[in-house]
Amino acid sequence: MSLKLAIVSTGRIADGQLAPALKHQEDAVLWSVLSRNRQRATEFAKRHGARSPNPAYDDLDALLADPKLDGVIIASPDRLHAEHALAAVRAGKHVLCEKPMVTEMDEGRELVDAARAAGVRLGVAYHMRHHAGHRRLHGLVQAGKLGTLRHARVQWTWQAPDDGNWRAHSDVGRWWALAGVGTHLLDQLRWIMGPTCGEVVRLESVIAHSVFNGPHDETAVLALQFETGATAELCASVLFDAPKRLEVYGSRGYGICEDTFGPHGEGDIWTDRGKLPFTPTNPFAGEIADFAAAIREERDPEVNGEEGLRNVELLLRAVGAAA
């Protein structure tokens, strides 16, 4: 029987990527949805074919009280993740939480502990791990084809037209460029380098916010060092458009990804040996399939709550907050 999943919030990622990706699942369906506005929930449920006889809610506790509901995908603004995800795991529902998982370490620890106590799965939605080309390159790196990893460089930027987005402000946002895309870049670095290079042991950052003069990072430039001594550079910005890049350098070769970051699973990848072919697949469908498989197989999702929390710790350190 298909897993019945709800989506919390009806915004851009829920409407444009998550609900459509649920249609590609073999063993999971969109069951219900929560919005602050009941009418918006009703329209969302209809648009995406939610299967519950009562699919539209404007009250989280009521949505979670549905005994048929198996799990929840949290797609609310960052500062609301902890409250929404905690309520879900305490109601005995599995949770796939959008990135970044939380905005404070103590709430993240509470969430991880609560999920464990409730015996439910907690995953974090880093869909770029499910890019088919990234997975090929990741496989080559972990198999040692690039030799010993020495350095990586990641860049993802866009030009925000103004500071109207909630990420630019503190009520429901905590970081701007770092939350929009930088957290994905940190996850990619940890995913590719972590298995052979160990933990991040050093992080230096330059945070600029002098264009809109708000409280959050507009451009974030991070320098990182791993346990083996390997290094990495990260640039995330809301101030300019630029090619999206992932570069990884080892003692015997390198891999370069250009314009692979984004929702579609596309872009180009090559190594020192030539172009790396891959067939684009929907990375959001991949992350949800992994979450559904994790529930069925009683294992952690590919990015579990602990990993989500380590990412948050680095985000906090990057902006000089206590982690």
Ligand X SMILES: NC(=O)c1ccc[n+]([C@@H]2O[C@H](COP(=O)([O-])OP(=O)(O)OC[C@H]3O[C@@H](n4cnc5c(N)ncnc54)[C@H](OP(=O)(O)O)[C@@H]3O)[C@@H](O)[C@H]2O)c1
Using CB under 6 A, list all residues that contact ligand X.
Answer: 9-14, 35-37, 40, 75-78, 80, 98-99, 125, 127, 166, 172, 179
Is residue 204 a contact partner of residue 223, using CB atoms and an 8 Å limit?
A: yes
Q: Among residues 76 and 188, whose Cβ is nearest to ligand X?
A: 76
Q: Is 129 left (phi over 0), alpha (psi -120 to 50) or beta?
A: alpha
Strands in 209-289 per DSSP E: 219-226, 231-237, 245-250, 254-258, 268-271, 274-275
Of 157 and 271, nearer to ligand X (C-beta) is 157
Nearer Cβ to ligand X (96/269):
96
What is the rounded radius of gyration, in angstroms, for the C-alpha atoms of the chain? Answer: 19
Nearest alpha carbon to residue 153 among 253, 256, 241? 256
In the complex, minimum distance from the CB of residue 131 to ligand X, in angstroms, rounded to a whole number:
11
For the chain, the helix, strand and coil percentages under 3-state DSSP, each to the nearest 5: 35, 25, 40
Task: Report, in Å, the least distance between residue 262 CB and ligand X.
Answer: 8
CB of 53 to ligand X, least distance (A): 21
Residue nearest to ligand X (CB): 11
Q: Least distance (Å) from ligand X to the CB of residue 198?
A: 26
Residue 13 CB, shortest distance to ligand X, in Å, is 4
Between 45 and 141, name the residue whose CB sits nearer to ligand X.
45
219-226 β-sheet, strand order? 200-208, 219-226, 231-237, 149-157, 245-250, 254-258, 268-271, 274-275
Phi-psi region of 144 (alpha: psi -120 to 50; beta: other; left: phi over 0): left
Q: What kind and span of H or E run contains 25?
A: none
In the bound complex, what is the minimum distance in angstroms from residue 40's beta carbon to ligand X?
Answer: 5
Q: How far is it, in rounded angstroms, from Cα 186 to Cα 166?
A: 21
- Euclidean distance between the first and the last CA atom of the chain, given in angstroms as a whole number: 42
| Least gap, CB of 74 to ligand X (angstroms) | 8
Q: What is the distance, to the nearest Å, from the Cα of residue 124 to the centroid of all Cα atoms in its chain?
A: 6
